Amino acid sequence: MKSNHSSVIEFLFPFLTVAALWELTVRLHLVGMEMLPPPSLLISKLWTLTVRGVLLHHLGSSLYRLTIGYVLAVGLGIAVGALLASRRTLREMFAPVLSMLISVPTIAWVPVLLITMGLGDRTVVTAIFLGGFFAITYNTMRGIEMVNPGQLNAARIMGVGGWRLFVEVLLPASLVSIITGLRLGIGYSWRALVGGEMLSALVEWGIGKMVYQARFWNDVLVMLIGLLIIGFSGFLLDRVLLKWLEQETVEKWGMLAKR
């Protein structure tokens, strides 16, 4: 059984290799430093920005927007999804519409929002909300649809009905799909955040904005740092936060299909 240490090292190894090769290529003047700053420069700039609090400000603004938009998407998404799942007619009516709305690149909503909601925060948060909402609603609806009727009947015969049946049986039983929806949703929301910040002129702070603004000074260094942070945050949000949720619930309960 591998120790935690060796699996962490194994995970980092490719990155270290790539970073080393990268550093080498630049130092050997194979690529210009303005085109592709080496990792060493990256780290020092990263440090400067962090110390000056600039990075934190950008990151904080982004996370603030993400939280508002995503939490709204989760709350409304699960509620609407459950509502649609409760009647076959509703399901048949809205499932195709929903899946078509999911196929729209989330960023495409931003121009509409810019025109109707202005160029500031509200647009970005709404885009984040829309990104998550459709995916969560759709997956919640499908999840509830697919619940084993035996489990519902088992609870019914014990006299459980109505709201209690929904919260204590229906929701846990559809958790696998709901979590899938949450993971898809956070991906779309995250991308909506970055894209929305880039496209909304009145937004000053935000990790997406940081990358976008760097273009005006051709500051590849800041762009790369921004990308690193975007990638890392996206990774944390999905693979760490939601994966943790998955592990503590459906994986523990053996509800995931065998890989």
Partner 1 sequence: MEVFWRKRRSNNRTGSRWWLPLLPVVVFLAGWQLLSGVNLINPALFPPPTSIAGELVDLYSSGLPTRSLLLTHVMATLRRLIVAAAVGILSGTLVGALMGISRRLYRFLDPLITVLMPVPGIAMAPLFIVWLGFGDPTIIALGSIAAFFPLAYNTAAGVRSIDLQLVRAARMMGADKGTLLLDVYLPWAAGYVLVGIKLGLARCWRTIIAVEFIAAASWGLGYMIWDAAEYLRADVVYGGIFLLIAIYFVIEKGLINTLEKHTVERWGMVRRQ
Partner 2 sequence: MSKAIIEIQDVHKIFDQGAAQVEALGGVSLDIREEEFTVLIGPSGCGKSTLLYLMAGFEQPTAGRILLDGVEIAGPGPDRGFVFQDYALFPWKTVLGNVMFGLVHNGWSKQEAREVAREYINLVHLSGFENAYPHTLSGGMKQRVGIARALAYNPKVLLMDEPFGALDAQTRKHMQRELVDIWDKTHKTVVFVTHSVIEAVFLADRIVVMTARPGTVKGIVNVDLSRPRDYTGEDYLTVRKQVLDLLEEEVEKEIRLQEKAI
For residues 119 and 75, what is the distance between their CA atoms, to the nearest angstrom?
Answer: 26
- Burial (0-12, 13-18, 19+ Cβ within 10 Å), 65: buried
Does residue 127 interact with partner 1 by CB under 8 A? no
Q: Considering the complex, what minimum distance in angstroms separates the CB of residue 154 from partner 2?
A: 4
String of contacts with partner 1 for each residue 22-41, x by CB under 8 A: -------------x------
CB 63 within 8 A of CB 125: no
Nearer to partner 2, 156 or 215 (CB): 156
For residues 203 and 26, what is the distance between their CA atoms, to the nearest angstrom?
Answer: 34
Does residue 173 interact with partner 2 by CB under 8 A? yes
Nearer to partner 1, 39 or 195 (CB): 195
- Show Cβ contacts of residue 256 under 8 Å, excluding neighbours closer than 6 positions: 176, 246, 250
Place of tokens 């970073």: 19
Q: Considering the complex, what minimum distance in angstroms separates the CB of residue 173 from partner 2?
A: 8
Does residue 235 interact with partner 1 by CB under 8 A? yes
The token pair that represents 38 in the structure block: 């080496």
String of contacts with partner 2 for each residue 183-222, x by CB under 8 A: ----------------------------------------
Fill in the DSSP letter of residue 257. Answer: P
The entry of partner 2, partner 1, none that residue 175 binds, CB within 5 to 8 Å by partner kind: partner 2
Does residue 162 interact with partner 2 by CB under 8 A? no
**Nearest one of 138, 229, 132 to 186, comparing CA atoms:** 132
> Where does this chain bind partner 2 (CB under 8 A)?
148, 150-151, 153-160, 164, 169, 172-173, 175, 249-250, 252-255
